[in-house]
Amino acid sequence: MASGRLVVQVFVDNVALPLEGAMVTINGEDTNLNLMTDESGRTSVVELKAPDLEYTLEPQNTVQPFSTYDITVYKEGLGVGTVIGAQVYAGIESIQDVFLSTTPGGSGKNVTVVTPPAIWANDPSKIVQNPNAFLGSGRVLPRVIVPGYIIVHDGIPSDTNAPNYYVTFPDYIKNVASSEIYPTWPRETLKANVHAIVSFTLNRVYTEWYFSKGYSFTITSSTAYDQKYTHNRTIFDTISEVVDEYFDEYLKFPDRSFPFLAQYSDGIKVVRDGWLSQWGSKTLGDQGYNSLQIVRYYYGNTIQLAVAEVVSDLPTSFPGYNLSEGACGEEVQLLQNALNKIRGSYPAIPLISNANGVFGSDTTAAVKKFQSVFNLPITGIVNFATWYRISAIYAAVSNMLKGIFE
């Protein structure tokens, strides 16, 4: 067998409260590991057995292409958190969040069952939908935006007993991509699938599809109606990095102002004209197609990539250019103040003692540590991905979005 990597991150209630000193046990075939979380709530990265890479590269239904591990987290006074079936792929780093609850009687929230990705499982096939069905309804937003968070209904629309989860937009996209396809595929294939997932989601947001029908959520977790979502599932580093860079890019046609409802299928069990084929996109990626070429192969040569306005929880949006050592100005000072605020919950991030708007070596050190803690490429440069991850964590530790991360 080959191997992959796994890191566990433990929080109390939400990402604003990483938990130091939690005992983490990882169990699987021939595996029993006991770890402890550091001051950022992270375990060390451990190497675990996984099936050979080849099983994720060709359609087949005989060998499960990932290993599964059960995780138990314990901290005195907070009880136990359990993850059943955390997934590990060959050559991939898996990231598994675990939330312990301070809510009395809330221990039931601490059990996560990670279901197989849709491309492996026999999930219900997607219902064919008219991408222009909402036209003339009068129910649309005034502009295309990436919201701070969306409300995910964990069931079919009519299931009134299913819970609703408030999820930050990038985290939702990472979850869906990790729930739909394999993280071992070519990067351009991952990008093409992320573009489709983002576009489908933003269409639901822009048209207020479910709100207009009297529901109190943005989207469902049902593969029949929407996209697969498994609450608090394992996320993978290759998918996470792509989403962090491209979560604001969506597909549209030149004569339409709204995000295209980019439908897709596995391309093996279900094949539909005008839909992206997941396995087909993998083949095109292997052949050197870039992400735009892949989506145009399925949706037509006139499909375009557009950039949505991002609703940020920092006082200002990403300035449109990277910030690095030597930069100065208001954006740098906002960044420094945000990092110092985050440091209250994540003390491993070095203090920026002189937050004067000049990007010096102390700011570089703080950025690098932030990137390390939050699974971003460790460059010390604040690009789009790092800026908006700082934005989300700053919002959490400032209680600006208190409760939505639970």
pLDDT digit string, tens, across residues 185-211: 999 999 999 999 999 999 999 999 999
pLDDT digit string, tens, across residues 267-294: 988 889 999 999 999 999 999 999 999 9
pLDDT value of position 52 = 96
Our CA angle for 311, 312, 315, nearest 5°, is 130
Tell me which of 257-261, 295-299, 383-387, 402-406 is least confident: 402-406
Averaged pLDDT, 308-335 = 86
| Domains in the chain with CATH codes | 2-113 (2.60.40.1120), 145-310 (no CATH), 330-397 (1.10.101)
Report which of residues 235 and 406 the model is more confident about: 235
Mean model confidence pLDDT for the chain: 92
pLDDT value of position 315 = 57
pLDDT value of position 239 = 98
Question: Taking 50 as the threshold, does the pLDDT of residue 61 lie above it?
Answer: yes
Question: Taking 80 as the threshold, does the pLDDT of residue 159 lie above it?
Answer: yes
pLDDT digit string, tens, across residues 79-88: 899 999 999 9
Cβ pair 110, 10 in contact under 8 A: no
- What percent of the chain has a predicted confidence (pLDDT) above 70? 94
What distance in Å separates the CA atoms of residue 37 and residue 234, rounded to the nearest whole number?
18
Question: Taking 50 as the threshold, does the pLDDT of residue 106 lie above it?
Answer: no
Count helices and strands in the chain by DSSP H and E runs: 8, 19
Averaged pLDDT, 321-338 = 95
Q: What is the pTM of this model?
A: 0.93
Tokens 């492996």 correspond to 120
pLDDT value of position 219 = 98
Averaged pLDDT, 169-183 = 97
Cβ pair 186, 286 in contact under 8 A: yes
Q: Can you read off the two tokens belonging to residue 182? A: 């394999």
Q: Can you read off the two tokens belonging to residue 73? A: 């987290």
Ranges assigned E (strand) in 223-364:
235-236, 249-252, 264-265, 276-277, 304-307, 309-310
Confidence of residue 396 (pLDDT cuts 50, 70, 90): confident
Confidence of residue 259 (pLDDT cuts 50, 70, 90): very high
What distance in Å separates the CA atoms of residue 339 and residue 88, rounded to the nearest whole number?
32
Cβ pair 126, 118 in contact under 8 A: no
Residue 42 per-residue DSSP state: B
Kindly report the number of other CB atoms within 10 A of residue 296's CB atom: 17
Question: Taking 60 as the threshold, does the pLDDT of residue 406 lie above it?
Answer: no
pLDDT value of position 108 = 41
pLDDT digit string, tens, across residues 125-136: 888 998 887 766
Tokens 């009687």 correspond to 105
Tell me which of 6-10, 26-30, 242-246, 377-381 is least confident: 26-30
Report which of residues 358 and 134 the model is more confident about: 358
Cβ pair 303, 251 in contact under 8 A: yes
pLDDT digit string, tens, across residues 242-253: 999 999 999 999
Kindly report the number of other CB atoms within 10 A of residue 263's CB atom: 20
Handedness of CA 6, 11, 220, 314 (dihedral sign): negative
Averaged pLDDT, 36-51 = 97
- What percent of the chain has a predicted confidence (pLDDT) above 90? 79
Exposure of 313 in the CB half-sphere (CA atoms within 13 A): 21
pLDDT value of position 226 = 97
Question: Taking 70 as the threshold, does the pLDDT of residue 14 lie above it?
Answer: yes
Tell me which of 189-193, 301-305, 356-360, 397-401 is least confident: 397-401
Question: Taking 70 as the threshold, does the pLDDT of residue 314 lie above it?
Answer: no
Tokens 């539909």 correspond to 272
Confidence of residue 404 (pLDDT cuts 50, 70, 90): very low
pLDDT value of position 6 = 98
pLDDT digit string, tens, across residues 287-305: 999 999 999 999 999 999 9
Tell me which of 9-13, 44-48, 128-132, 139-143 is least confident: 139-143
